[in-house]
Amino acid sequence: MNWKTFAALLARDAHVARRNYLALMLQTLLQPLLFVFVFGQVMIRGGMMAASYKGMLLPGIMAIAMIFTGIQAVAMPLIAEFQFTREIEDRLLAPIRMEWLAVEKILAGMLQALMAGGVVLPSAWLLLGSGVGLRLDRPLAFASVAVLVALFSASGGLTLGCTIGQTNIGLMFSLVLAPMIMFGCAYYPWSALSSFPVIQKVVLLNPLVYASEGLRGTLAPQYPHLPIVVVLLVLSAVDGLLIALGLNRFRRKAVS
């Protein structure tokens, strides 16, 4: 393993991200904050939602922000760099096994996802005002869930980025990400689906469910949530699967 090369690859991605940090920041923050404002303020003050919805919503918003950021941070550049310009070629030729370049992308995506979570959580909290009621009783469990969620988003981004062509980016959002978010238990707890038994079973295939429920269970345990052990196990399994799949797709994309 050639750490110098790995560090240089990571430095390159950090450099590019720093150059666009303002845009990245807005991209990460705007959507969740708008959502928090509408559902956490307008609807609650208008009397259409119970005030307790605030604490319910926040972990879900954080999960979506992390997953969106991680997937975008890895998938979008990869899709562009594997286009006919083959911008990635220079890095594929770097003296390191090319799989490490994919690992580096995952690591960079994870860091960005964690940063997104770290920015969205306090700002959404501020925007929601009083009565959110977060309880960080188990910081270690929270950290583990957050890392696994970040890893899920980045390895998912790798798999998508090496599978989808530039022309299908729109489809990726409308066919993959949109249903994933709506059925991701981000805006409601999984138990709220009990009146739709079939849907409740099917959404268990959606990894975002475990991300939302896991963050909810460790940030606001007073609300109903899936057991944290189940969340940790499923997320670890999904992460392992996506890393293997992503590396495989990456290899196939990198070498003709």
Q: Is 93 in the site for another protein (CB under 8 A)?
A: yes
- Would you count residue 15 as binding another protein (CB under 8 A)? yes
User: Of these, 12, 147, 223, 245, which contacts another protein (CB under 8 A)?
Assistant: 12
201 near another protein, rule: CB under 8 A: no
Residue 139 token pair:
């910081």
Least distance between another protein and beta carbon 4 (Å): 4
Alpha carbon distance 46, 204 (integer Å): 33
**Cβ proximity to another protein, 2 vs 222, nearer residue:** 2
Please say which residue, 138 or 253, places its beta carbon nearer to another protein.
253
What is the residue type of 35?
Answer: F
18 sits near another protein (criterion: CB under 8 A): no
Tokens of 160: 């998508």
209 Cα distance to chain centroid: 12
139 and 99 Cβ atoms separated by less than 8 Å:
no
* Least distance from another protein to the Cβ atom of residue 75, Å: 15
Q: Which residue in 58, 71, 96, 211 binds another protein (CB under 8 A)? A: 96
Closest approach of another protein to the CB of residue 112, in Å: 15
Stretch in the footprint of another protein (CB under 8 A) among 10-18, 126-134, 152-160, 196-204: 10-18
Q: Is 99 in the site for another protein (CB under 8 A)?
A: no
Looking at the Cβ atoms of 229 and 255, the one nearer to another protein is 255
What is the rounded CA–CA span in Å between residue 198 and residue 67? Answer: 25
Nearer to another protein, 86 or 135 (CB): 86
Q: Nearest approach, Cβ of 98 to another protein (angstroms)? A: 8
Question: Among 80-88, 135-143, 148-156, 206-214, which window interacts with another protein (CB under 8 A)?
Answer: 80-88
Q: Which of 200, 123, 220, 109 is nearest to 158 (CA)?
A: 109
Q: Cβ 82 to another protein, closest distance in Å?
A: 11
- Of 14, 18, 19, 144, the residue at the interface with another protein (CB under 8 A) is 19
Binding site for another protein (CB under 8 A): 2, 4-5, 8-9, 11-12, 15-16, 19, 77, 84-98, 255-256
